[in-house]
Amino acid sequence: MRRNVRPAPLERSSRRHGEAGQNLVEFALGITVFLTLLIGLVDLARAAFLFNGVSEAAREIARVTSVHPGSTSLGSSTETANAVAAERALVPGLSVTSYTCLDLDGSTVTGTCQPGDWVKVSVQTSFEPILPLLTAFGPISFSTASSAKIQ
Amino acid sequence: MTAVRPSRRLGEGQILVVFVLAMVTIIGMVGLALDGGATYAQRRDQQTAADLAALAGANDYLLSNNSTQAIDRARTLAAANDFTQGASSTAVNVTIDTSNGVEVVVGIDSPHRNSFLGALGMATWPVTTTATALAGFPDTAFGAGPFIFPISAFNDDGTPKYQTPTDFNETNGDIPTSQTDIAWTNYGTGNLNTTDVDAIIKGETTINATMTYGEYIGQQNSGNHNTLFQDVNDYLSGLDLPVAVVDAGGNFMGWASFHVISATAGSDKHINGYFLSSFTGDRLTISTCAAGACPRYLGTYVLKLIN
């Protein structure tokens, strides 16, 4: 079969090259759109996973802090530190922005956080899209908070 | 005609490879988002189920003093929240430790069945949650107030008789003589040291006392306690304090939580306040008093998650 290709007349050969070029252009255009959609989907899924992870991390850290508030300040217990480390393994770049002690009505408690008060844990991480179109928007910050009643 | 076929074949081959790679990526990423999210959701439900089961088990033990029944209660609660022991690879492990109050540990293991990631060889993800609840009657108080109350101020079922503002007087006895009578204490023995009592009221001394059930704690009260009443009014009004409760013989029966409204000195000396039926902050703790061995009629008990 291949032997037939080489001795082909000039006019047929040029037509063949033209078709091959057209295929290449179609393929190139197609693959660009396709890859953009594919990587966009990957980014969307990563963002969804990260957002779920950040929400879960806030809840988990709040749950642990509610039973181990720490003797010096909220969030100072080793159990809270361990929970933060465990969540960081799941959510890259996770950091706890604040531990706040709230009253039942949502106002901030200034003194010691007593059982019956609520601890509000705020966490954040940044999401870096891998799609070149979106990298221009830079890292996007995801932050959430969760509250739990001090036991 | 034949000349075109090789290049077409090449293109078809590339598309196939790209398509397969794309499918794996799509399934993987959609799986990560959906199965990952669903696993987080399950973990949340599972933690709530473990928390509630532990509290239910501890509360049951507090009332029944029966570990088999308490374990059943914890499992029933977990099942009511869709984590049934033995069903769909779910294990609900309940252990009870009664060495220090009662501690009920509930561990739930239930794998999350992945819908998308199963196609990539990850059929399940393990999800494990644990919760520990503590229940019991406290024998240790931190920051206790310098008064002793009589057990006759409580009903037989444990609820306080005075949950609305009431005047409590002092008749200068070593121990309370009526159900609205108090006796002062500096948590020592022998004669009452009014200077120490005053230091407790002013917050200069913080009492961190562990009492043994049945221990005699009455002290000789006499003299004019006008300053003490005046200082209670000045320093303790509006506060919740752990207070010691004694039987008719002055023997320690347990701690209760008392809310001070005001105090009046002079000819009609009294403290106005009421009992709280629940545990006050973290100032009452269980250290050695096992549930079942502790008095259970004082209205103040501890039931909380500790892990």
Per-residue pLDDT at A80? 95
For B27-71, write each residue's pLDDT tens digit: 998 898 999 999 999 999 999 999 999 999 998 888 788 889 999
Candidates B103, B301, B138, B137; CA nearest to B209 is B138
* Same-domain status, B95 and B16: yes
User: Between β-strands B270-276 and B252-264, what pairing exists: parallel, antiparallel or unpaired?
Assistant: antiparallel
* B193 vs B76: CA distance, rounded Å: 53
* Same-domain status, B84 and B157: no
CB contact under 8 A, B37 and A48: yes
Q: Mean pLDDT throughout A80-101? A: 93
> Rounded to an integer, what is the distance from CA B101 to the centroid of its chain?
11
* Same-domain status, B157 and B279: yes
Kindly identify which residue of chain B lies nearest to residue A17, measuring between CA atoms. B4
* Same-domain status, B160 and B284: yes
* B149 vs B14: CA distance, rounded Å: 87
Kindly identify which residue of chain A lies nearest to residue B303, measuring between CA atoms. A151
- Complex-level ipTM: 0.79
Domain annotation covers residue B307: no
* Same-domain status, B114 and B147: no
DSSP string, A23-37: HHHHHHHHHHHHHHH
Distance between A76 CA and the closest CA of chain B, angstroms: 15
Average pLDDT of chain B is: 84
Question: Which residue numbers in chain B have pLDDT < 70?
Answer: 1-12, 157-158, 277-301
Per-residue pLDDT at B277? 66
Per-residue pLDDT at A124? 95
Kindly identify which residue of chain B lies nearest to residue A30, measuring between CA atoms. B15
* Same-domain status, B163 and B96: no
* B160 vs B151: CA distance, rounded Å: 9
The pTM of the full predicted model, rounded to 2 decimals, is: 0.73
Candidates B167, B255, B252, B237; CA nearest to B201 is B237
CB contact under 8 A, A12 and B44: no
Chain A to chain B, count of Cβ pairs less than 8 Å apart? 74
For A41-76, write each residue's pLDDT tens digit: 989 999 999 999 999 999 999 999 999 988 888 889
Q: Domain of residue B255: give its range.
A: 140-302
User: Percent of chain B at pLDDT above 70?
Assistant: 87
* Same-domain status, B128 and B167: no
For chain A, list residues whose CB is within 8 angstroms of any CB belonging to chain B.
Answer: 1-2, 4-5, 8, 12, 16, 19-20, 23, 27, 31, 34, 38, 41-42, 44-46, 48-49, 52-53, 55-56, 59, 63, 66-68, 79, 114-116, 151
Residue boundaries of the structural domains of chain A: 46-149
Of B103, B136, B169, the residue that ends a domain is B136
Of B136, B169, B196, the residue that ends a domain is B136
Domain annotation covers residue B88: yes
